[in-house]
Chains A and B, each alone.
Chain A
Amino acid sequence: MKVSDRRGLAMSSTGRSEGWTPVVLSGPSHGFRGRLVAIEGSDGAGKSHFVSWLMAAIGETVPCTHVLMPGEHLRSYPYWRAWNDTSYGIDRRLIDGFGLTLMAVGDRLVRQKAIIEPALKEGHLVICERFALTPLVFNSDPLFSEPLQRLFRPDLGLLFDAPSDVLIERVSARPDNAVHPQTRHDKDVEVARFRVLAESNGYVVVDTGTPNDYSGLEPLLRKLLCDNDKEDHADV
């Protein structure tokens, strides 16, 4: 997407971010023996499906740590659940988006320190489902983007991407579907923002609009794991 096309990427119904700008992340390299893969994308883009596939493909050959952002503790936090789950019957406009974003960003830093960093030190392949880009899709305010600059630069960043009507259809077809419905406009904006952020931050875009056997990713993954075997960092 050209810079000139990036204007007007404002969400309407969520009201979480007006005047959005794409943020370029320049977080530190982790410098540990392990490898960090960040997987981003909207609900329904196939992130979890890919993680299951990857974990199965790797088997026990490489020690693996799967991290879901935000963590389970925040997902069980009532306001977070109410924001995401219609069954709570709470109008999400009444929930403070600023407070939730503070928690989501803070939680990423907490989990990087507590889980990701030790796993990388141990030489694990850390697969992080949602990382720095997701909060930035909803809010690019420096108050949130500056702390996110502290997150490690992933060794491989993947954006799972599909057209918004496909995403909406997949999510609504889930048997346990209780997520707040998004307007087509907001989903379009979300998808477009993800693409802009992926381009700005060197993420590989994986088209999951149609069935994908991930064969296109295999060389990247092979290289990543190969580098992992070869490198022997001084600090490990």
Chain B
Amino acid sequence: MITIFGIPLQAFLGQLLLGLVNGSFYAILSLGLAVIFGLLNVINFAHGALYMFGAFLAWMGLSYFGLSYWAMLALAPVIVGLFGILIEKFLLKHLYKLDHLYGLLLTFGITLLMEGLFRSFYGVSGQPYSTPEALRGATNLGFMVLPNYRAWVVVASLVVCFATWFVIERTRLGALLRAGTENPRLVEAFGVNVPLMITLTYAFGVALAGFAGVLAAPILQISPLMGSNLIVVVFAVVVIGGMGSILGAIVTGLGLGLIEGLTKVFWPEASSTVVFIIMAIVLLIRPAGLFGKEK
């Protein structure tokens, strides 16, 4: 058997893949956070709860309405996005003129509210969700056995991340968005409906979280707390990467997932803290973050 540093190759690659899967979630979530922060100046704490909402929607769709994984993969982000519109229109909108910290506190409250509601209906134990038919099993690549679903998660996240990058950096819509991030008043003076743009941006950002939630449903336990455990790590990812760049968010997310996977192989006890330790180191060396600009 081939080994790397005394660890069987299969186990090593398996952990790396698992790290990459986690990294994909970090990437999608931090991307959404960065897009929202760019235009709204709000750190959306509820991102984790909305990710959990997406996963629960997948589960609900299947168990109440018999909707397949694929139907929910398309539907859940839309529902989460619509829910996001409600949050923005009725709650967040009133806070834009205040200190940005209030946005964080409000979305924190929304998180507690959502988690509490889901907990009172579904308890804390996880709900099982089976992998869709087409993606079950594994492919033997010769040097490793690749579980199909995990490979799909990584590919699907990468596609979504790069599509987002393309829209924001390469299309006219994205140009407006970037202009709005720089100077909303000026963009509004040019006749762009900035409030609508803000609402849709928030909806899009949280829809990404919902999408990640559906992707996570078959591999992680669907539980009310799944989101907040993730969001704290994503915060660290955002601090490490800095929120200045879309590609930066993607690269940082994936990279940290990989590092976490590697740590699981070599020093399992540290795997839950390694991201935070990296954050501390980055803060010492480059406080603005790897891709961030000092304001």
> Do these two chains interact?
no
| B contact residues vs A (CB 8 Å cutoff) | none
